[in-house]
Every structure is written in structure tokens, then in C-alpha cells.
Amino acid sequence: MKTYLVTGGAGFIGSNFVLYMLKKHGDIRIVNVDLLTYAGNLENLKSVKDDPRHVFVQADICDREAIKAVFDEYQPDYVINFAAESHVDRSIEDPGAFADTNVMGTVNLLNCAKDAWLVGGEWGDHKFLQVSTDEVYGTLSLDEPDTFFTEETPLSPHSPYSASKASADMFVVAYHDTFGMPINITRCSNNYGPYQFPEKLIPLMINNALQHKPLPVYGDGLNVRDWLFVEDHCKAIDMVATDGVVGEVYNVGGHNERSNIYIVKTVIDEVAKATGDDSINESLITYVTDRAGHDRRYGIAPDKIREDLGWYPETKFEDGIVRTIQWYLANGPWMENVTSGAYRDYYQNMYGKK
Ligand code: NAD
């Protein structure tokens, strides 16, 4: 039986990954280490609360003693590092928190993994998988729609968030090159789906639309992101953990590029259709001052993971967005819970009292 140390497993992608893995594999154990920041929510995991294959440990990935104790007690075969500060707007407000968790937290995990796994010069059958982002590559032009990020694209981050993720990636590569640590890095495009905190574009728009609040769109709304349904990302991580060639980076994306304004209009149409409320319409769209340093376009070339590992995205955007909206409609209490307290303060700070 393999043991996965999943960090950040109470967040959006991490909790989807825990649920995906427990459903897909019978004979695994997941040790889920999460600090439960504003973005971590154990509600996401209530369906596996009594599953003995899932152990939850509340801890900071920067805490050397706590992480060492987890390695000592559970002896994980894999580390899947999702834990991060993940929101670009917050990184502009407070870059230091991103350096702490995303860089120093990753280095602490690498050190603890090295101490536990490297015995007599041998690494054994282990792997450290760093969950990274296409944002580390910087930006592409709207004028060259046929250019994409490949694994060879140089790192060129622009936001404090992407700078912290790129820095963490470089440490992970350094532990492979210097110490021989068995690692992989996945760099995925924008995810959407259930359990995403409503500061991110799609759930923010769904939540505001349902409340007839303004839908804030940065700049001209033409920035392009490459959207992937979260389960397809989980599948990719599972495949890379098991079959990825040690030391390799894999880009993950579904060639599903959409402008932000297209996404917002799609959410309006689908929420209006699902609720039968025609007062949810484009009059809610409010253009706001562009994000500082806003990357124009992200686009992933997923050829390597498709050709080498046979991964492909199963969910078409048109289906995934409807599933996502239906999920938020059916889980009103989840949304009410996360939009109270700390989230509300943050929301007021970022978007005013609209
Ligand atoms: P999220 O913000 O929803 O979740 C992050 C989780 O990490 C939360 O549960 C939080 O409590 C936990 N956490 C934060 N600081 C911690 C610390 N110091 N110690 C332990 N736990 C801590 O983020 P997400 O959107 O699920 O992203 C997960 C990972 O995937 C991140 O590394 C992110 O960079 C990467 N990623 C995200 C996307 C996306 O579209 N969301 C795309 C590509 C890559």
C-alpha cells in the first residue's frame, strides 16, 4: 500500500485530488497536511471523514518539527505538494506570505523528504511531485495565438505569486540535480470546478451573479487563460506521480483558451438559465482598473504528457462549466460558509462595498 503525503489537501485542487484518489484507488493511504488558512476548508472532505485511508494533520509546511514528525510517523512514498498561497491579487498585497509558504515551505518539505528518504546514498522508491503553474512561464501575446508554453519555455514570472512558484520549482530541480532526489514538476493551466474559493474568477462570478452584485472584470476583459476542469488536473497528477520519468517537468492543459470576458458572459448565461432569473444579465458586468502586471495570455502545449503518459482532458469546457455551476447552486451552504468572516473582510478590501 502506497502512502501519499498530500499538502494543501483541504484547498480547492488538493481536496479534489484527495477525493479523486480515494475513489480511484482502493489500496492507498493519504496523509493530508494543511494549515487551514482562509483557503483551506475541511467541509470539502466531509464525504471521506470516516474513511480510514485518509488522515488529516493540521500543520504548516514551513514547520520543520511538525513535518519531520509526519515523515517519521507515516513514512510516505510520495509527496504531492499543493500547499501554497495561490491568489495573484493577494500576492500583490502581501508578497512576503508567498515567499514564506511557497518558497520556504517547499524547501522545508524537500529537506524533510531528503532526511527521510535518502538512506546509504539510495533514494528508494519515492517521489516528490511539485504542483506548479503555467504562470511561471510569464505571458504570451494575443497576436500570436499559435505560440504556446512548452516545458522548454524559459521561466519568466511577473507577479509575486508566479515568482514564488518559479522559485520553488527551481529549488525542486536543484534537489534533483544536486542530491539526486526523485522529483517531477507539473505546470498546469487555470483550473475550475467544485470547491474553488470564490475569490477566483469563475466562482466569484457565479456567487456575485446569484446575488445580483456587480461582476468585476479587469481592464478590457480580453486577457486569455487556458481552462481545465479540476478532475482532469487530478488525473494528470496521479499519472505523473506513478509513471512520470524522474526529473521531468510536465505541462498540463487542454487547449481551451478563453478570454475573461467570454468566461464572465458564459457564467451569466448559464446561471440565468439554471435559475430562470433574467435579471442576471450583462448589465451586471463592471470593468475595473486592470491588475498590476497582468499577464495577457497563457496557453499550454500539453504534447509531452499526452504522448509520453497518455493523458488527455476528459471534460469539455461546455460540460465542465455547467457541472460547476450546478455544483455551486446545489451547495449554497458551502458558499455561505466560505463567504463569511475573513473572506468578507478581504472581499470588501479588494472590491469595495459594492
Ligand atoms: P488553494 O488556495 O485553494 O488551496 C491552498 C491550500 O494550501 C489551502 O487548503 C491552504 O489552507 C493550504 N495552505 C496554505 N498555506 C499553507 C501552509 N503554510 N502549510 C500548509 N498548508 C497551507 O489553492 P489551489 O487553487 O487549490 O492550488 C493548489 C496548488 O495548485 C497551488 O500550489 C497552486 O499554485 C497550484 N495551481 C493552481 C491552479 C489553479 O488554477 N487554481 C493552477 C495551476 C497550479
Per run of 10 residues, the mean pLDDT along the chain (length 354 residues) is 98 98 97 96 94 97 98 98 97 98 98 98 98 98 96 98 98 98 98 96 96 96 97 98 98 96 97 96 96 95 98 96 96 90 58 46
Report the nearest-CA residue for atom 37 of ligand 1: 133
Instruction: Give the number of C-alpha atoms closer than 13 A to the C-alpha of residue 351, restricted to the C-beta side.
Output: 20
Query: Using one digit for the tens of pLDDT, what is the confidence trace for 217-269?
Result: 999 999 999 999 999 999 999 999 999 999 999 999 999 999 999 999 999 99
Which class for 30: exposed (0-12), middle (13-18), buried (19 or more C-beta within 10 A)? buried
Q: Is 229 in the pocket of ligand 1 (CB under 6 A)?
A: no
**Ligand 1 touching residue 133 (CB < 6 A):** yes
Instruction: State the DSSP code for 55.
Output: E
User: Which ligand 1 atom sits closest to the C-alpha of 16?
Assistant: 26
Look up the pTM and report it: 0.96
How far apart CA 176 and CA 50 sit, in angstroms, is: 37
What's the confidence (pLDDT) of residue 340? Answer: 82
Contacts of 240 by beta carbon, 8 Å cutoff, 6+ apart: 129, 184, 186, 250, 305, 309
The answer, yes or no, to whether any atom of ligand 1 lies below 6 A from the CB of 165, is yes
For residues 312 and 255, what is the distance between their CA atoms, to the nearest angstrom? 11
Ligand 1 centroid – CA 319 distance (Å): 25
Break the chain into its structural domains and give their ranges: 2-191+228-256+293-315
Cα–Cα dist 116/205, whole Å: 44
Please calculate the CA angle 172-13-82 and round it to the nearest 5 degrees: 20
Residue owning the nearest CA to atom 32 of ligand 1: 82
Indicate the CATH number of 2-191+228-256+293-315 among 3.40.50.720, 3.90.420.10, 3.40.1670.10, 3.30.465.10: 3.40.50.720
- Provide ipTM, 2 decimals: 0.99
Expressed in angstroms and rounded, the spacing between residue 84 Cα and the centre of ligand 1 is 4
- Distance from the alpha carbon of residue 85 to the mean position of ligand 1, in angstroms: 6
